[in-house]
Chain A
């Protein structure tokens, strides 16, 4: 049997966390704790990269699949596997976790060991969510992930951390328990269709769910994912969670956790319930577009840097949902690309905000000004990431948003037109913020003596900046594995969905290539 690479990816962080439990005398061994956690997370990243190199990007099938029986009476199995979509999200998780860990080295002083353990457990659960091919297993990881994130916000957050942590937990749970019932209903349906229970995703793809049940099941799934994304009007937990979370928490939250909602739409809600998806797609797109504009407008008036970035996430993830709702190759590929790209650039923004607030212990825009002269290198990195977030061509943000708008335009130009205003608005709020923070004279004398990037911070930002450029210049590197998986998902959706949607979708098998060409 082949080496169980996916299981080892899930298990490795847990093993690391257990190792950390063995280290005694936290005060004296703090460097050891940090290094063990970092090495483990780097190993996970290396393994994720190995996974990428071994992955066959031409195939739409799930690869590296492992299946073991778990609760046979209910047809529950331990089934994991990746396709192009989940592969890249696993890599993203592997990429951001070491960054999150290192970002906390200077800012988390209390209970450093527990912090590392929590981050590693979170990583394990996140990877588990992306690789699960069994709905029960998926739900286990999905729910298990809440606990470490709750501790991360609640213990190491700022003043209103408890409120934010509890709100995060209750919001997400409230959404996901109804999904649990829908999963149970789906399994019961499988039982009545075939005589045996199954929670296996590929088996459930095969059964035809009656339209009226699709309606309810889709709503339950979509609610869970919409809260996670977060889609307007379910986004209110996000600014609280982001503002109160420590930098590492924000990076992981924005970078990976939010992607679980959109990933869930792509992987579960749409292909499992295509008829309902076709019915609800315009409504989802409507909420997404409202979110794009609303998030941008609210971001514009924020005085707190972290809140600004948090609302910009609402806006950017609106694009992702819009792309998915368009249900054509450009839209969904763009959505998946935007998931990655938002993870990198918003992760980067939160890192920089964290570095600023480490220095000044404030995140208010008004407290800064003229930083360009004081910290040229930090501001340079800040600049690249800001432009990436706005969606400047040549950087990562552009590719995804462009594809999404293209897809949305083919589907329904009205959505594309409104969404496009979000691109402009994002330039407004980001550049305005950037200007207020970095240009002009140094108005606050406490900013005059701030130190530029330390070697540790440089090491954090260099990979992020490099990746924004790579993703912007050679998008095909990432689009290639996404393409077949997206085609496969769309085939599933359009097989059952009404005619008019099928007509709107391009049936050209070389769309991936065409899309990539259009980007260049």
Chain B
């Protein structure tokens, strides 16, 4: 048997193994016994990272449906980083909210495995499969706090709409298969190119249905309704995980399908994505302004950031090719960091999730407040932080591709978004301490994860050249 046929899926296998180990450990766990499940997961993720390093530049394929090209591996690293950071910040929320440990860590790892597979899948059906692996795990994670009505509501909404989206996606895949007789992206692309000059109605239907399916998963307006409820109901660590990992994986598949297989139909899908991107930037930002819950605010902010990512996807031209990957990376560290701080704010029995609860944090918890400020300013796009370079990269791609108005919408919405990011900063530094908010101590590992994220945000803002170059070369493997 030829073992090299399996090489492309080794990173996924590592994570799956860790997930199974976590599940088994849970089964043999005595009541009240604590098991090092998070470290177990980290081991699996580090294994996946190492395997990805070895696969770099190999362009390995397995079974003809999974291609570990540099694009997939780059997104894979983003997802692995998200996974490790999520595990590191999960300790406090899991303890404080008494979430079932084994299930929690196993589900995070299964979701991560699904994401990794989604990033490297080069067959529409495998993409769908990976999406379902990821989504099912995340639905359960959202509703894991069974006693909380918000969690159940969020999970239920997420599940129904997610199932709906999956149906759209599947329908799109069916149309594609009907036209081309294949679900493999490279063959689909070849056949599409052959008849690109006069796209048929079927082709347009396929594009539209796939677009809707992906738009749901990346929570683009107007398919974003589930996002705020799901993020609010979920534990903050899970919300951070969803807003970065799920988004990275979904965008990877989105970009791979649209930039390679459906690239010949660009003239048909680019106006659609233009509209969705503009609506997402505007909608996410404007609704974010009126939120009083930090988690909901961050949910709308992550919707808006999805809009910038869509703009990057749309204007992936020669100069702006790497923008989407660079943005995903910066956004992963920044947003997970912000949700991490929210997770640290939680006290047993109190979410401390109102904007008001952050009053005086700069005095009482200067380090936590300082980290939150860095993440928020990066989300708002201030130099010298990563968020600025990422946004700049996207807008320069948009300008170079001739999407001036999209760029104008982008910069103006980012000014509006600064308003709500600053509200939290105002609370932390410029408002007096509210005595009744008790913020528990931050465990060392979680603190270290947040510090590492902040350093990454600074690094990507000050010395971005190498990573940008790397992102541009990675995406070069798909188009």
Contact = CB atoms under 8 A, between A and B. Distances in A.
Interface of A: 69-74, 136, 139-141, 143-144, 146-147, 150-151, 154-155, 161-162, 165-166, 169-170, 173-174, 177-178, 180-181, 184-185, 187-188, 191, 197
B472 A73 contact: yes
B468 interface: yes
Interface stretch (B127-135, B278-286, B299-307, B408-416): B408-416
Contacts of A144: 382-384
B429 A154 contact: yes
A154 B382 contact: no
A141 B415 CA distance: 17
B426 A74 contact: no
A184 B395 contact: yes
Given A140-B384, A146-B382, A191-B319, A73 B468 contact: yes
Given A170-B418, A188-B396, A162 B411 contact: no
B438 interface: no
B407 interface: yes
Interface string B390-411: 0010011001100010011001
B319 A197 contact: yes
Contact of B465 (A71, A166, A170, A178): A71
A141 B382 CA distance: 10
A169 B411 contact: no
A15 B325 CA distance: 33
Nearest to A180: B411
B408 A178 contact: yes
A74 B388 contact: no
B465 A72 contact: yes
A197 B392 CA distance: 14
Contacts of B431: 162
Contact of A147 (B377, B395, B396, B468): B377
Contacts of B415: 170, 173-174, 177
A74 B469 CA distance: 10
A11 to B, nearest CB: 13
B201 to A, nearest CB: 37
B383 A143 contact: yes
A174 B419 CA distance: 11
Nearest to B383: A140
Nearest to A136: B392
A181 B319 contact: no
B400 A191 contact: yes
A196 B472 CA distance: 16
B468 A71 contact: yes
Interface residues of B, number: 30
A181 B408 contact: yes
B422 interface: yes
B430 interface: yes
Contacts of B348: none
Interface string B424-456: 001001110000000000000000000000000
A504 B295 CA distance: 61
A70 B465 contact: yes
A155 B383 contact: no
A143 B430 contact: no
B464 interface: yes
Nearest to B423: A166
Nearest to A143: B383
B409 to A, nearest CB: 11
A188 B402 CA distance: 10
A139 B408 contact: no
A140 B382 CA distance: 8
A174 to B, nearest CB: 5
B172 to A, nearest CB: 34
Interface of A is mostly: helix
B308 to A, nearest CB: 13
A154 B430 contact: yes
A155 B418 contact: no
B413 to A, nearest CB: 10
A279 B388 CA distance: 33
Interface in B304-319: 319
Contact of A73 (B400, B412, B426, B465): B465
9 contacts: A71-B468, A147-B377, A155-B430, A166-B426, A170-B418, A174-B415, A177-B411, A181-B404, A188-B396
A74 B419 CA distance: 30
A162 B425 CA distance: 10
A80 B426 CA distance: 34
A70 B463 CA distance: 7
A73 B476 CA distance: 15
Contacts of A177: 411-412, 414-415
Interface string B371-383: 0000001000011
A4 to B, nearest CB: 17
B426 to A, nearest CB: 5
A154 B319 contact: no
A161 B168 CA distance: 51
A73 B469 contact: yes
Contacts of A151: 429
Contact of A184 (B399, B412, B464): B399
A185 B411 CA distance: 14
Contacts of B429: 151, 154-155
A165 B426 CA distance: 9
A236 to B, nearest CB: 17
A169 B422 contact: yes
Contacts of B414: 177
A304 B392 CA distance: 42
A180 B392 contact: yes
A169 B430 contact: no
B300 to A, nearest CB: 18
Contacts of B465: 69-73
B426 A173 contact: no
A155 B411 CA distance: 27
B383 A166 contact: no
A372 to B, nearest CB: 38
Contacts of A169: 418, 422
B426 A181 contact: no
A244 B353 CA distance: 30
Contacts of A180: 392, 395, 411
Given A177-B412, A188-B400, A170 B319 contact: no
B222 to A, nearest CB: 26
Given A139-B383, A188-B396, 18 more contacts: A69-B465, A71-B465, A73-B469, A143-B383, A143-B388, A155-B430, A166-B422, A169-B418, A170-B418, A177-B411, A180-B411, A181-B395, A181-B399, A181-B404, A184-B395, A188-B399, A188-B400, A191-B400
B310 to A, nearest CB: 18
A147 B411 contact: no
Interface string B33-63: 0000000000000000000000000000000
Contacts of B384: 140, 144
A150 B384 CA distance: 16
A69 B429 CA distance: 37
Given A73-B468, A165-B430, A177-B415, A184 B407 contact: yes
Contacts of B319: 73-74, 191, 197
A188 B318 CA distance: 12
Contacts of A72: 465
B382 A187 contact: no
Nearest to B429: A155
Given A181-B399, A181-B407, A174 B412 contact: yes
B361 to A, nearest CB: 13
A295 B465 CA distance: 46
A143 B385 CA distance: 11
A185 B395 CA distance: 10
A466 B213 CA distance: 71
Determine which residue in A151, A162, A177 has the highest number of CB atoms from chain B within 10 A of its CB, and name it. Answer: A177
A296 B396 CA distance: 42
Contacts of A185: 399, 404
A151 B465 CA distance: 30
